[in-house]
Amino acid sequence: MLSQDQVAAYHRDGFLRIDDALRPDVLARVRAWVDDVVARAKGLAAPNEVYDLEDTHTPDNPRVRRIKDPVARDPLFWDVIRDRDVIGPITQLIGPNIRLYGSKLNLKSAGYGAPVEWHQDWAFYPHTNDDGLAVGIMLDDVTEENGPLMVLPGSHRGPVLSHHNDEGIFIGGIEDAAHKIDLSQAVQIHGRAGSMSVHHVRAIHGSALNLSGRPRRILFYEITASDAWPLWSDVTTLKYRNYAHFVEMMICGEHSNVARMEALPVRMPGPWKDGKVDGIFATQGAGKQRHFGSYREKVGAM
Ligand SMILES: O=C(O)CCC(=O)C(=O)O
């Protein structure tokens, strides 16, 4: 469980690292599952409901940047998030009643893993209150070299910045981030494989291209207090099929049909480019900004 200092640090900074949250045997099972699913991307011509592919992917040279929604694909991923060592500390941050909003495996492969532009998760999924956060379980050692998650301390208590472009299209990233926020203050979250990061739903964060020789795979769970209700239906359509599914997504504690409302800054996501709700990589691709550069810019064609 977390110390009082850790809880205070989370509320002050908007992020935290918890060491060795995942047991080595569970970590090994998750890694084996990922290797197997990635191997099956060979021959794939286009992204689908399981795979989000790098811009440089080809069927012969598969490059997977995300496995979508792992909890829907294997009960192992429910076991992981319901493990006391994983969810126990989170109950100290947002209370005992917790719902899963979404899950994803961001793979950031060695040599070409895509960056994630600066953004606030709240811009994608505002709720009636902001007792929400993302847990990131590191499947590899994460260091400065392989594209660590970076978070701007205290930004969860600041404004919700525009994630729209000049034409008013939602691009899921902060255009000209370097002019709007002091990125020199951003902190990299490093850790051993099996450790986990926690970042507040309003915290500004991003991560660089992985040009190193080591993968940086992170299993993310986006979670909320159960009395935080999503505010926008395009997004909920993606995440929750219906009321029963919304209830099934409880990780622990009690579901609530009483929404706790807080007076918070909210900017709604949308409209999306061509009316298509998509993952963060494609959505950010609609923006002009490439704060971290792209593989093609830095390395050239494959
Ligand atoms: O994978 C990362 O480094 C960041 C992930 C993230 O912020 C996201 O997928 O929304």
Return the residue whose CA atom lies nearest to atom 5 of ligand 1: 116
Do the Cβ atoms of 209 and 295 come closer than 8 Å?
Answer: yes
pLDDT reported for residue 63 = 95
Q: In what order do the strands lie in the sheet with 204-207?
A: 116-120, 204-207, 149-151, 187-189
The CATH superfamily assigned to 4-116+125-146+190-264 is q2cbj1_9rhob like domain (2.60.120.620)
**Coil, helix or strand at residue 33:** helix
**Coil, helix or strand at residue 36:** helix
The ligand 1 atom nearest the CA atom of 104: 9
Q: How many Cα atoms are found within 13 Å in the side-chain-facing hemisphere of 149? A: 31
pLDDT digits (tens, 9 = 90+) for 149-166: 999 999 999 999 999 999
Ligand 1: residues whose CB is within 6 Å?
Answer: 106, 116, 121, 149, 205, 207, 218, 280
Indicate if the pLDDT at residue 133 is higher than 90: yes
Q: How confident is the model at residue 235 (pLDDT cuts 50, 70, 90)?
A: low
pLDDT digits (tens, 9 = 90+) for 59-89: 999 999 999 999 999 999 999 999 999 999 9
Q: Report the separation in Å between the CA atom of 97 and the middle of ligand 1, taken as the mean of its atom positions.
A: 24
Indicate if the pLDDT at residue 301 is higher than 60: no
Q: Report the separation in Å between the CA atom of 108 and the middle of ligand 1, taken as the mean of its atom positions.
A: 10
Return the residue whose CA atom lies nearest to atom 9 of ligand 1: 280
Q: Report the separation in Å between the CA atom of 258 and the middle of ligand 1, taken as the mean of its atom positions.
A: 30
